[in-house]
Amino acid sequence: MHNFDLTAINTLEELKSFLPKDLDPKEMDLITAAYKYALSVHTDSLRISGETQISHVLTVAKYVAELNLDVVSVVAAILHDVLERSPVSMNEIDKQFGTDVAFIVDGLSHIRKLSQNVEIDDEHLDMENFKKLIFNATEDVRILIVRLLEKLHSLLNISSLSEEKQKRAAERALKIYGPLAEYLGLGIVQSLIEEQAFKILKPKEYKIITDQIENYFKSSQNIFSTFEQEITNMLKQYNINCHPIQVRKKGIYSAYLKIKRKFLTDNTELTPELVRNLFDIYAARVIVNTVEECYMVLGLVQSKYGIKPEEFNDYISNPKPNGYKSIHLLLNYMDTTLELQIRTMEMHEYNEYGPASHVLYKLKSKGENGNFTLTEDLLKWQEKGNDKYRIKLFADSVFVFTPKGLVIRLDKGSTPIDFAFRIHTDIGYKYIGAKVNGKMVSMDYVLQTGDVVEIIIQKKDNVSLDWLKHAFMTETKARIRRRL
């Protein structure tokens, strides 16, 4: 288990020290070739932040390696900007580096364009739909992960931008990329993105919370070490093998959210005292080998220290939607409240580094409106075979934009008249035409994910029997029939 190292790198040699030791020579050759190729495209071009483009792509590739992803992902990370910044074609990447790499690099360009379409200033923007739009636009989970890591690195190198641009980037990161990382179960990436963005958006609050957590951490060091010793001895006594107990500080941003939820109203300010009111600034992680042992530890701790029932969560029998599993409890110890997390090593790897085994999102369809069902789970990362990363998500949906950037979900096969009724029944009734991506289209035009759709209406109703031929969705047809 390692900590995530955020330092930027500038050379292929530095990247090598983060790659698995057992890479076969062919794989190393592919990474070297990608590096040379990226170097020839980017030469010594600089990013807005002042760092070189090659340092950016290498650092993103390093982050990919730290998440233990495969060589294809590392190569795609090195090449992730070549399409955008040069006349290079997809076919050329496909020929030189293989279809999988080309698929990811192309997917990254696609996502970039889609996310530029999305405005977050519009309070009507439905973020859930936005996340689903991104999922819908990528058939390979590695595309999303490289995108998240690219965003993380950009956030770290943002200080040369104007304050307004920094805040805008940080806000997008908090509203779009943080939740996306959570969706994918990438706990470590989520907290790094959130922390960077929070630091930019609320520097004062960030400083108060960081200082308090540091002070608390230093002043309570002896309590922690006594507690760790006691737990380790108790588990030895019962022959429970336990990995070294890890001590973790609460994430700065999640601490802020918790304080906000519990203690802040609209006009109260965050103070050091409020931070000290948090129970779980410190958490000890007990990592054992089996699920049975998790519950044995729970029993032992419960009988020795007693726990606070209102703060007890068993995410092993009730995992979070993204697959997170662990037992969380608070106990009183030497006049301090401590959080304890009990889990197996497999759960721990999964919670920190995403779907090492598999993520099955169960988004139940809720009748006609909340219709998001996932057809497959994200399969085991390390399985052999080429389709191991493909995710067919929302295979029966398309996601299109209103001119203001609001995302609307429709069934695959929908036409502009379905879109009009989905926006509002009255707009449907008054429909006289539609523009897609700025061009007039006929009523039977089939909408594609990413289309921007504008409906043209007149003052009075215009419904005709003919419309039933062009409508695709059952609910649209029902509304037309009702009106007729």
Q: Residue 360 falls within a domain, yes or no?
A: no
pLDDT band at 196 (very low <50, low <70, confident <90, very high): very high
24 by DSSP, 3-state: which?
coil
Name every residue whose Cβ is closer than 8 Å to that of residue 404 and which is 6 or more positions away in sequence.
119, 122, 124
Same domain, yes or no: 61 and 126: yes
Dihedral of CA 302/306/307/309: which sign?
Answer: positive
Q: pLDDT tier at 434 (50, 70, 90 boundaries)?
A: very high
Instruction: Answer yes or no: is 477 within a domain.
Output: yes
Q: Give the contacts of 230 (CB within 8 A, at least 6 positions apart).
A: none
Among the candidates 353, 382, 408, a domain finishes at: 353
Q: Are residues 249 and 119 in the same domain?
A: no
Q: Is residue 463 part of a domain?
A: yes
In this structure, the answer to whether residues 305 and 442 fall within a common structural domain is no
Residue 421 lies in a domain: yes
Task: Judge whether 358 lies within some domain.
Answer: no
pLDDT value for 279: 58
Give the residue numbers spanning the domain of 420.
Answer: 397-483
The predicted model scores a pTM of: 0.75
Together in a domain, 189 and 217: no
Alpha helices in 389-439 (DSSP H): 416-423, 425-429
Same structural domain, 318 and 188:
no
pLDDT in tens, 77-103: 999 999 888 888 888 898 899 888 888
Look up the CATH number of the domain holding residue 157: 1.10.3210.10
Looking at the fold, whether 424 and 286 belong to one and the same domain comes out as no
- Region for residue 323 given its phi and psi (left: phi exceeds 0; alpha: psi -120 to 50; beta: otherwise): left
Q: pLDDT value at position 394?
A: 58
pLDDT band at 370 (very low <50, low <70, confident <90, very high): very low
Residue 264 has what pLDDT?
A: 78
Same domain membership, residue 321 and residue 429: no
pLDDT at 449: 82
CATH code of the domain containing 290: 3.30.460.10
Phi first, then psi: give them for residue 339, nearest 5 degrees: -100, 140
Ordered strands of the 431-436 beta sheet: 439-441, 431-436, 453-457
Do 190 and 237 lie in a common domain? Answer: no
269 and 219 part of one domain? yes
- pLDDT-derived band at 16, boundaries 50, 70, 90: very high
Do 190 and 214 lie in one domain? The reply is no
Q: Quick one: 78 and 160 in the same domain? A: yes
Cα–Cα distance measured from residue 298 to residue 234, given in angstroms and rounded to the nearest whole number? 12
- What 3-state DSSP class applies to 412? coil
DSSP, res 159: T
What's the structural domain count of the chain?
Answer: 3
Pairing of strands 336-344, 282-288: parallel
Q: Which residues of 130-159 are buried (b: 16+ CB within 10 A; e: fewer)?
A: bbbbbbbbbbbbbbbbbbbbbbbbbbbbbe
Same domain? 128 vs 141? yes
Give domain status of residue 365, yes or no.
no
State which of 146, 172, 199 marks the end of a domain: 199
- Is residue 183 domain-resident? yes
Instruction: Using alpha carbons, select from 219, 54, 71 the residue that is nearest to residue 153.
Output: 54
Beta strand residue intervals within 187-325, DSSP E: 246-249, 282-288, 313-314
Decide: 189 and 144 in contact? Cβ < 8 Å: no
